[in-house]
């Protein structure tokens, strides 16, 4: 199924049995209506009918219904663009790609619509609350090369953050720990075991820190700064969870993906991209 209005189809894993009955049970009459209207398909493109029965673990695809979302009132400046990639300066509060309640108000969907590029796809992710340099690929043919480069840790990333100052704390330092993020829990946690996350922390003065991650665990920088007793300013999750209204954009997380460097996997050229944003 092609991208439609910037949004690709949702992939659903089935419990097994009548597809019509299961979708009606899980998602209501609107989903059942999609089956009746021939808007649900199998991976091979076969249209699911009202009498279709599939085994447990089978997958179907359909376009989700868009719920009303709070608009994120910030632009997405383009830092660089060629035939293979688009590099943008993602604002705070904008998720990289659709997930949960954030669908249309994501960098991916907005850019697909604004640039009229339905094949656009992120090469990596930034947290919704983190701003800065984000690389997206323009064509399916090159997508794997860029995503593999990020997955293998071949990209040098530098972040900036603002936090309190502890003059008795010796910096720079390298923080190593094991971080686990469980599904359904807002916070990631440090647990006993072999370290899987490493961050170099430097204080540049005046509460401005340079963070250089050598791994890419979920919320890694936020967890490591909080573990040092230097939680990043504006963080609603670490060290404590703070309830923030969906339309409250007054206190951005003071974390910025400031610089990305890598050897282009297609051309071999050295790429360096720097955010134009600053931290308050």
Which phi and psi angles does 36 have, rounded to 5°?
-65, -30
E strands within the chain? 10-13, 17-18, 53-54, 59-62, 78-81, 85-90, 121-122, 131-137, 156-162, 173-180, 189-191, 197-205, 208-213, 255-263, 270-274
For this structure, is 127 an active site residue?
yes
DSSP string covering 92-160: TT-BSS-BTTBSSSBHHHHHHHHHT-TT-EESS---TT-EEEEEEES-HHHHHHHHHHHHTT-SEEEEE
From the list 83, 89, 127, 235, the catalytic residue is 127
Residues taking part in catalysis: 127
């Amino acid at each position: 199924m092609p991208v439609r209005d910037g949004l690709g189809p949702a992939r659903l894993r089935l419990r097994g049995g009548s597809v019509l009955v299961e979708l009606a049970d899980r998602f209501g009459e609107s989903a059942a209506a999609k089956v009746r209207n021939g808007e649900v398909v199998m991976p091979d493109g076969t249209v699911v009918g009202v009498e279709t029965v599939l085994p447990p673990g089978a997958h179907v695809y359909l376009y989700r219904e868009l719920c009303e979302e709070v608009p994120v009132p910030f632009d997405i400046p383009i830092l660089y663009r060629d035939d293979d990639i688009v590099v943008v300066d993602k604002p705070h509060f904008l998720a990289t790609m659709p997930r949960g309640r954030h669908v249309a108000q994501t960098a991916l969907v907005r850019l697909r619509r604004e640039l009229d590029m339905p094949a656009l796809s992120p090469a990596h992710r930034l947290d919704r609350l983190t701003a800065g340099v984000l690389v997206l690929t323009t064509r399916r043919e090159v997508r794997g090369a860029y995503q593999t480069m990020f997955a293998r840790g071949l990209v040098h990333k530098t972040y900036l953050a603002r936090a309190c100052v502890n003059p008795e704390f010796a910096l720079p330092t390298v923080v190593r720990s094991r971080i686990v993020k469980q599904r359904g829990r807002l916070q990631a946690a440090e647990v006993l075991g072999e370290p899987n996350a490493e961050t170099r922390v430097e204080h540049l003065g005046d509460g401005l820190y340079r963070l250089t991650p050598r791994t890419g665990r979920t919320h890694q920088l936020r967890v490591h700064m909080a573990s040092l007793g230097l939680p990043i300013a504006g963080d609603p999750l670490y060290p404590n969870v703070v309830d923030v209204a969906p339309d409250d954009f007054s206190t951005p997380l003071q974390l910025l993906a400031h610089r990305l460097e890598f050897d282009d996997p297609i051309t071999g050229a050295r790429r360096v991209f720097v955010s134009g944003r600053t931290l308050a």
